[in-house]
């Protein structure tokens, strides 16, 4: 599989890694500490028509406070062309104490394309209070909104974010978004996946799994089990 453009600069390097099949595999490599307060980072991944692209990262991303006093911004832009498949599976994002990070993820999926997207967010390092984390995830399929949701956690977030109706004291949260054509005609049934995860059909060819956990390790286990249950 060809990679016509593979380019990175600043705190994020991009490396091609070994593939077990016909897909192209890429890893994001942190070249320096980022994002720091005041940083503005953008990552774009595009799978061309009928292509298969897997994107991961070599380590967790840690949001840290900076000297500027301004929030950091991390924008992800994903494009999946007709008949293509994109698997976006980075490691966790950790919101360290004192940091303020605003994450925006936007995915555009064409007709007949497939997307697997995983997000994992950890509020604070071990024994540490969280930073301020806000994120927005938008997925559009054939130009129509499939999912559009906001999240706010940590100091300054709306009241109740850590209460019984939200995280209930858990410090790791994540989600899987699956878009594939067959889900339009055969939507999944909403259900709980154990005690910490829920599966929800989306209004179109997609589904959403949301999960919380006490820590990053258990969150990954929950999401891996959920992925097996949806038979990607």
User: Cβ(222)–Cβ(213) under 8 Å?
Assistant: yes
Output the CA–CA distances (angstroms, integers) from residue 30 to 118, 131, 132, in the order listed.
19, 20, 21
Mean pLDDT, range 53-62, rounded to an integer: 95
Whether cis (ω within 30° of 0) applies to the bond prior to 35 is yes
- Give the separation between CA 45 and CA 31, rounded to whole angstroms: 19
pLDDT tens-place string over residues 88-129: 999 999 999 999 999 999 999 999 999 999 999 999 998 899
pLDDT band at 31 (very low <50, low <70, confident <90, very high): confident
Task: For residue 46, give the 3-state DSSP assignment.
Answer: strand
Mean pLDDT, range 67-77, rounded to an integer: 92
Domain ranges of the chain: 12-230
CA 164 to chain CA mean position, Å: 24
User: Cβ(200)–Cβ(190) under 8 Å?
Assistant: yes
Token pair of 196 as six digits: 């910490």
| Rg of the Cα atoms in the chain | 17
């Amino acid at each position: 599989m060809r990679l016509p453009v593979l380019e990175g600069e600043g705190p994020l390097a991009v490396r091609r890694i070994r593939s077990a099949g016909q897909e192209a595999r890429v890893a994001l490599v942190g070249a320096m500490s980022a994002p720091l307060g005041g940083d503005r980072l953008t990552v774009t991944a595009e799978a061309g028509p009928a292509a298969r692209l897997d994107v991961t990262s070599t380590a967790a991303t840690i949001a840290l406070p900076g000297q500027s006093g301004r929030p950091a911004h991390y924008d992800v832009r994903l494009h999946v062309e007709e008949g293509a498949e994109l698997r976006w599976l980075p490691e966790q994002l950790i919101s360290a104490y004192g940091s303020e990070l605003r994450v925006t993820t936007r995915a555009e999926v064409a007709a007949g394309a497939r997307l697997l997207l995983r997000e994992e967010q950890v509020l604070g390092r071990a024994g540490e209070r969280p930073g301020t984390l806000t994120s927005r995830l938008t997925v559009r399929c054939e130009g129509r909104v499939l999912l559009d949701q906001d999240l706010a956690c940590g100091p300054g977030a709306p009241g109740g974010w850590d209460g019984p109706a939200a995280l209930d004291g858990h410090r790791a949260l994540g989600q899987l978004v699956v878009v594939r054509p067959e889900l339009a005609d055969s939507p999944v049934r909403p259900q709980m996946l154990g005690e910490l995860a829920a599966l929800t059909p989306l209004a179109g060819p997609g589904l959403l799994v949301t999960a919380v956990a006490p820590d990053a390790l258990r969150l990954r286990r929950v999401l891996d089990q959920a992925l097996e249950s949806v038979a990607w």
